[in-house]
Amino acid sequence: MDVLIYVLSFLLLVGGIAGCVLPILPGPPLGYAGLLLLHFTGRADFSTTQLVTWLIIVVILQVVDFVTPLLGSKYTGGTSFGNRGCVAGTLIGMFFLPWGIIVGPFIGAVAGEMLGGSDLAHAIRAGIGSLIGFLVGTLLKVIVCFYFLVQGLGVLI
């Protein structure tokens, strides 16, 4: 039975990394689920503090993943029109995977700024900010999921 749990845990950990770039899969929650499964075997010795800390990090990352494009747009001078466009572009981009999720926030922020009356240069700057925010959020997820994989492999090997 433990072998089945080890295999499933490994698949969840690898799926967590894949989920960092494939928006259909929730990367950090999958990685955490893999570690949680390992915890219930006789080989893992994760403390309750570790498990709770990792859970808090996963929850924060899920929120940050949606907020960073907005913050990036706002930081580069985007208005509320750009922020709403960024959200709309993110939602619409989910239907055009994988590239839609990357360029959706950018196009949405640019379109929102243009609809709000901003000039093209300002709109593009806000769009680039949302793209940078998206990339920062993705990088954070990748770092955490690789950490989860290393922790899991430490138990499995």
Over residues 94-122, the mean pLDDT reads 85
Over residues 80-91, the mean pLDDT reads 82
Candidates 57, 59, 82, 58; CA nearest to 70 is 82
Residue 74 confidence (pLDDT) above 80: no
Residue 134 confidence (pLDDT) above 90: no
Average pLDDT, the chain: 87
What pLDDT, on the 0 to 100 scale, is given for residue 70? 76
Over residues 30-38, the mean pLDDT reads 94
Residue pair 75/107 in contact by the 8 Å Cβ criterion: no
Residue 95 confidence (pLDDT) above 90: no
What pLDDT, on the 0 to 100 scale, is given for residue 35? 94
* Sign of CA pseudo-dihedral 142, 148, 151, 157: negative
Query: What's the token pair of residue 54?
Result: 């990792």
What pLDDT, on the 0 to 100 scale, is given for residue 144? 96
77: confidence class by pLDDT, cuts 50, 70, 90? confident
Q: How far are the Cα atoms of 106, 115, 126, 146 from residue 72, in angstroms, in the given order?
A: 10, 19, 8, 24
Q: Model confidence over 11-33: pLDDT tens digits?
A: 999 999 998 877 778 899 999 99
Domain ranges of the chain: 2-156
pTM for the full model? 0.80
Candidates 107, 81, 85, 82; CA nearest to 96 is 107
